[in-house]
Amino acid sequence: MRPVQLADLETAARVVAISPARQAMIAMLCTQAEQADVYRMAHGKPHPQFGNGTLMSAALKYDGPIARGPCNKGFLCSLAALCTYLADNHIS
């Protein structure tokens, strides 16, 4: 996965917030971003399904309210879970 930026976190957290299985969605988005980054490095172009290796590009393929909105409880809980997952599994 490419380095995570604040916009990646916001976009992914909004997708996670509408998912009934938040932890599974977080793991899936991160795995897809990792796969896309490997593909991008090997082929010099974005992955056809998962994008360019950013967390945002993996999240943008999902339907839902990705547009900016208020930071409600669901969004904030999803953001916290996403940050915890990344800290534990992906960021050194």
pLDDT band at 65 (very low <50, low <70, confident <90, very high): low
pLDDT band at 66 (very low <50, low <70, confident <90, very high): low
Residues 56-89: b if buried by 16+ CB within 10 A, e if exposed:
bbbbeebeeebeeeeeeeebeebbebbeebbeee
Confidence at residue 11, expressed as pLDDT on a 0 to 100 scale: 92
The boundaries of the domain holding residue 13 are: 6-89
**Overall number of domains in the chain:** 1
- What are the φ/ψ torsions at residue 77 (nearest 5 degrees)? -65, -40
Residue 54 lies inside a defined structural domain of this protein: yes
Residue 72 lies inside a defined structural domain of this protein: yes
**Whether the predicted pLDDT of 38 surpasses 70:** yes
Residue 1 lies inside a defined structural domain of this protein: no
pLDDT band at 70 (very low <50, low <70, confident <90, very high): confident
- Name residues whose C-beta falls within 8 Å of residue 9's C-beta, 6 or more positions apart in sequence: 55, 79, 82, 83
**Whether the predicted pLDDT of 91 surpasses 90:** no
Residue 85 lies inside a defined structural domain of this protein: yes
Comparing C-alpha atoms, which of 69, 73, 40, 70 is closest to residue 54? 40
Confidence at residue 83, expressed as pLDDT on a 0 to 100 scale: 96
State the pTM of this model: 0.90
